[in-house]
Amino acid sequence: MSIKRFFRWYFFVPIALVGIPLFLALLGEIVKLLWNALLPPLFGWPAITIWQGLGLLVLCRMLFGGFGSNSGGRGRSKPMTPEERERFRQRMRERFCGRTGEGEEAR
């Protein structure tokens, strides 16, 4: 390992060890402040702590946002061609509107 790579690694590890927990604490604090400012006055729900705010953030990421990986079949796919897009629209019209693209009723 060269000296240059060693010092770059040696410099970024302490920053990451301090920066990541600070960033997570900041996110937890933001969620806590938003929750405590909105939900107790509006709905009478109890105030939460920073740990509960961080837990809510993690829960919401798991349920709605994932963790940035493209696993689970939710990865980005290639764009639809115009023919695929028209077939998709036709199927949606038939399924939800009960008709075909020509205006006649589907069975």
Asked whether residue 21 is assigned to any structural domain, the reply reads yes
Domain span including residue 60: 3-66
Burial 67-100 (b: 16+ CB within 10 A, else e): eeeeeeeeeeeeeeeeeeeeeeeeeeeeeeeeee
Tens digit of pLDDT for each residue in 39-68? 999 999 999 999 999 999 999 988 988 666
DSSP, res 99: B
pLDDT of residue 106: 46
Asked whether residue 51 is assigned to any structural domain, the reply reads yes
pLDDT of residue 27: 93
Asked whether residue 71 is assigned to any structural domain, the reply reads no
pLDDT of residue 99: 63
Count of structural domains, the chain: 1
Query: Does residue 27 or residue 71 have the better pLDDT?
Result: 27
pLDDT of residue 43: 94
Read off the tokens for 24.
């997570």
How many other C-beta atoms are found inside a 10 Å radius of the C-beta of residue 40?
A: 13
pLDDT of residue 103: 53
Strand partners, 105: 99
